[in-house]
Amino acid sequence: MDIKDKLAYQRKEREVHKRGRSIEDAWSKIKKSDDLSTKEKLERLINLTGAAKPKPKAAVPEWRAEEPEKREPLQYFENSFSSDVRYGRIKVGAGLRIDGETLYYLGRDEEFQELGLDTALFLDLETTGLAGGTGTIPFLVGLGYYRGDKFVVAQYFLGEPGEEERMLEDLARLFEEGGFRSVVTYNGKAFDLPLLETRFILKRKPFKLGSLPHLDFLFSARNLWRHKHESCGLFHLAREVVAADRSEDIPGAEIPFRYFDYLRTGDFSQIEPILYHNQEDILSLLGLLIQGARLFKSGRAPREEEEEDGEALDAMDLVGVGRLFEKVGDIEQSVVLFERAVSGGLTGQIETTIKYKLSTHLKKTGEWDRAVIYWNDLKSMDKLFAFRELAMYFEHQARNFAEALRTAEEGLFLAQKTGDPFEEDFLKRITRLQTKIERLGEAPSLAPVKPRKARIKKG
């Protein structure tokens, strides 16, 4: 035993001896109390000497540097859905029955006339940001396509940003060998396709998708449903139009942060919800396209024909399909659909919009009697443009200057009341009509026009 150990042993002995003496002295004093029981005397001894078992000290956690889990540089995931699988209210295989003419109306590209969805590639990216540009990386490329009677969802996940070139090589091989003849996206013209093309250019690789016909369904979706639903976001329309259950989905704005956290920690549980979100976006796009094609087919068919599923189009659906025909220049069919929509009970702003469209179309084709019906309807709603159109009709078509003047005066009164810019137009028109009436010797206006007072701007 060396000197340090001996000193420590002796110090311990002294402490034990001293402790023993203090306990003996305390007990001799307490023992003399006759009014305490033995249990109470022992409890007092414990309190005085601190002989109770000491509480263990709280363990101080040892700090360790967090080590990220090992990441897979590049991963590939694939899920297949048979044609009879339902996604919401649609069957996955229904996309194979969409013909080229329907795709042409939905995509407004003549090349779709000879194509079908059996050779289309659905594309959706998840990226490190929404700003675009060379600093934005697509870390998850989601693809959807038919193979036989199955719809395949393939996903390329970039676990290491440094492996992007290898991912692009795999994608280029798929694009080349997949036999794809068109691309389908949702807002892909503004974001997905330009971003992916930028990544290919930076790596000096050819980008085959850039030369294919592109159906960005966002534009058709807006025509079909913006007047019916509060949002044309893919997530919202998937729930409202397709009845897809996306209750477990995560917000899109959260996705970049999850990816950055994954790069820091290697925790793949951050990525799994993103894979689900991306797959749902691709299936939602397919479902919306199928529903849009169904509406188009029903709107194109004669009114007396029943739909295959027995579900009639409502007035708002008819407006949406009418807009599709209007966009490709088929005004005659759009007028038919708009008139069906009006007779189906439109209300509010959409009623005003469609009746204005109808009157404008009918005016261009010279169908004045029908146009006047809609202008009178709109006039009863105090729509100033209807007063103006009727005044022009009575002056130049019906040659009824007195009625034209009366209508213009009514319009002027309303314009002055509301401060509408049409006021200047009505004033000039009334002056001209009064001159014509005086020259022809017709009855004067019952309500002469008062000169307009100059408006003084305040402030």
Instruction: Residue 102: give its domain's CATH number.
Output: 3.30.420.10
pLDDT in tens, the chain (459 residues): 443 444 444 455 545 444 555 556 665 666 666 666 655 655 665 565 554 444 444 444 444 445 556 789 999 999 999 999 999 999 999 999 999 999 999 998 899 999 999 999 999 999 998 766 678 999 999 999 999 999 999 999 999 999 999 999 999 999 999 999 999 999 999 999 999 999 999 999 999 999 999 999 999 999 999 999 989 999 999 999 999 988 878 998 899 999 999 999 999 999 999 999 999 999 999 999 999 999 998 887 766 554 444 467 899 999 999 999 999 888 899 999 999 999 988 989 999 999 999 999 999 999 999 999 999 999 999 999 999 999 999 999 999 999 999 999 999 999 988 888 888 999 999 999 999 998 887 554 444 444 444 333 333
Q: Are residues 356 and 239 in the same domain?
A: no
- Distance of CA 10 to CAs 2, 4, 15, 409, 434, Å? 13, 10, 9, 119, 128
Domain count along the chain: 2
In whole angstroms, give the CA distance from residue 321 to residue 333.
10
Strand partners, 182: 120
Query: Half-sphere exposure (CA, 13 Å, Cβ side) for 368?
Result: 10
Question: Is residue 346 included in any domain, yes or no?
Answer: yes
pTM of this prediction? 0.76
In whole angstroms, give the CA distance from residue 93 to residue 178.
19
- Alpha carbon distance, N-terminus to C-terminus of the chain: 101
Boundaries of domain holding 139: 74-298
Pick the last residue of a domain from 298, 321, 345: 298
Question: Is residue 42 included in any domain, yes or no?
Answer: no
Distance of alpha carbon 103 from its chain centroid, rounded? 22
Q: Are residues 257 and 357 in the same domain?
A: no
Query: Half-sphere exposure (CA, 13 Å, Cβ side) for 91?
Result: 11
Q: Are residues 329 and 278 in the same domain?
A: no
Q: Are residues 345 and 406 in the same domain?
A: yes
Question: Is residue 418 included in any domain, yes or no?
Answer: yes
